[in-house]
Amino acid sequence: MTQNKSTAGISIKNLGLSFGTTEVLKGVNLEIEPGEFFSFLGPSGSGKSTLLRAISGFGPDPTGSIKIGGEEVTGLPAWQRNVGMVFQSYALWPHMTIRKNVAFGLEERKVSSTEIDGRVDDALDLVGLKHLADRTPGQLSGGQQQRIALARTIVVEPRVLLLDEPLSNLDANLRVQMRRDILALQRELGLTTIFVTHDQEEANTISDRMAVLDKGIIQQIGTPVELYDQPQNRFVASFLGTANIIEGSITEGHFVAEKDFKIPVKTDLTGNIYLVIRPQSVTISETEVTENNRSYSLKGNIEYSEFLGETVRYSVLSNGHSILADESHLRGNKIVANGQDVWIEIEKDQILLLDR
């Protein structure tokens, strides 16, 4: 199978969608480049699967516009969109052999039977399961079914490939392997791909760019690193990784929160603010440390600790606020006891301030 020449970008403008009176998507705007690996990340009920299904032509009619390769597809039925969709449940037809399943889309396109044979073989080769061609889906493991579902979709050379939580039914080890395989396949085919997941590790490792969704709204679009380092709002900051988020306000060059929590900050922002700091940017010390060029210092007291293997996560109560601090763990390191007085250091350039 060769590089896909017909792959297309996707352009979504002001898309809205409702189930009855419930709005599930609101004002979605999105540009996906041809050949890009793009992810929709969000909690369940965020609208990510609904958005994917709207692109493939399922679900209620949306308002706004969806263009694939410059062609407006809203109003087109699914079978005329040439959009490849891989379902969460794989949706292999149990009454057909693997070969029949994979050949289905080509038969619908009235491809000649000799060509079908060749292309089905190629597609099965691509996913490494040619030897299973004459089995039925029930005889295959979950991982194999997943590969067949992929083969069945890409064999018709769709303009874009849509994957709806494709790894969620696989066990942990297989999931890591499959996501590498999917990415390799996507790179080989150069096929514009959208991957829906609620698992941030999956999205981070596989995506060129991704969109974080919540409550039917795209919260932020960017590369995984951009989203992690520069979250634009509280939701993105807390959804990607772990963050200490403290509500407060800017008063006279200081960030001030309840119960005398106060640190000096340099910012143009005014009024109500979230202060965001990742646990790995906070260090604890059993001996007193003072503020220096690099970091602020606060006195506190260990509330509890969680041993996570590579790190130990401490919760430190300081001026009425619980602050998480991750310490990397090396063999023999002792864990600081609960109730112990400690000093925490917060690295100045790791502090992020967000408008509330």
Partner 1 sequence: MTVKASSGFLSRSNFGPKALAILIALFLIMFLAVPVAKVFIVAFQDPSTGSFTLINFVDFFKTSLFRESFWNSFYVSSVSVVVASIIALPLAYFTSRFNFGGTVIIQTLGIVPLIMPPFVGAVAMQLLFGSNGSVNLLLDEHLGFTIPFMEGLNGVIFVQSIHYFPFILINLSAALANIDRSMEESALSLGSNGMRLFRRIVFPLSMPGYVAGASIVFIKVFDDLGTPLLLNVNNMLAPQAYLRISSVGISDPMGYVISVILVIFSLFAMWVAFLALRGKDYATTQKGGGGLMKRDMKPAEKFIAYAIVLFILAVVLSPHLALGLLSFGTIWSYSVLPDAYTLEHYVEVFSSAGDFIKNTLLYAGMAATIDVVIGTAIAYIVWRTKIKGRKILDYLAMSALAVPGVVLGIGYLRTFYQFDVPFKDIPLANYWLIIVIALAIRRLPYAMRACVAALQQVSVSLEEASESLGARKMTTVKRIVIPLMTGGILAGFVTSFATAAVELSATIMLVSSEADAPIAYGIYVFMQSAAGRGPGAALGILAVVIVALGTYVSNRIIQKANQKNAMSPDQH
Q: What angle do CA 107, 111, 114 make, to 5 degrees?
A: 100
Work out which of 11, 67, 69, 91 binds partner 1, going by CB under 8 A: 91
Task: Choose the stretch contacting partner 1; rule: CB under 8 A; options: 77-85, 276-284, 289-297, 299-307.
Answer: 77-85
Residue numbers 179-198 binding partner 1 by CB under 8 A: none
Spatial neighbors of 279 by CB under 8 A, at least 6 apart, are: 242, 243, 244, 313, 324, 325, 326
Of 29-37, 101-109, 234-242, 340-348: span binding partner 1 (CB under 8 A): 101-109
Residues in contact with 192: Cβ distance below 8 Å, sequence separation at least 6, in sequence order: 7, 8, 9, 10, 32, 33, 34, 35, 36, 38, 159, 160, 161
Nearer to partner 1, 91 or 133 (CB): 91
With respect to partner 1, which residue has the nearer C-beta, 145 or 305? 145
- Regarding 77 and contact with partner 1 (CB under 8 A), the answer is yes
Q: How far is the CB of 84 from partner 1 (least distance, A)?
A: 7
Cite the DSSP H helix spans in the chain: 48-56, 98-108, 113-126, 142-154, 172-189, 200-206, 224-229, 234-239
Given 18, 88, 280, 297, the residue binding partner 1 (CB under 8 A): 88
Q: Does 89 bind partner 1 (CB under 8 A)?
A: yes
Check binding of 19 to partner 1 (CB under 8 A).
no
Q: Is 145 helix (H, G, I), strand (E, B) or coil?
A: helix
Q: Is the CB of residue 213 less than 8 Å from the CB of residue 40? A: yes
156 is a contact residue toward partner 1 (CB under 8 A):
yes
What is the rounded distance in angstroms from the CA atom of residue 7 to the CA atom of residue 191? 6
Give the burial class of 282: count Cβ atoms within 10 A of its Cβ; 0-12 exposed, 13-18 middle, 19 or more buried.
buried
Size of the site for partner 1 (CB under 8 A): 29
- Site membership for partner 1, residue 228 (CB under 8 A): no
φ, ψ for residue 346 (rounded to 5)?
A: -115, 120
CB-CB neighbours of 221 under 10 Å = 17
With CB under 8 A as the contact rule, which of the stretches 91-99, 123-131, 206-214, 221-229 interacts with partner 1? 91-99
Is 20 among the residues that bind partner 1 (CB under 8 A)?
Answer: no
* Using rule CB under 8 A, residue 87 touches partner 1: yes
Among 78, 184, 308, 335, binds partner 1 (CB under 8 A): 78
CA distance linking residue 158 with residue 174, whole number of Å: 26
> Would you give the binding string for partner 1 spanning residues 106-125, x where CB under 8 A is met?
--xx----------------
By C-beta, is 46 or 315 nearer to partner 1? 46
Dihedral class, residue 130 (left if φ above 0, else alpha if ψ from -120 to 50, else beta): alpha
| Residues lying near partner 1 in the complex (CB under 8 A) | 56-58, 77-85, 87-89, 91, 93-95, 104-105, 108-109, 136, 138, 149, 152-153, 156
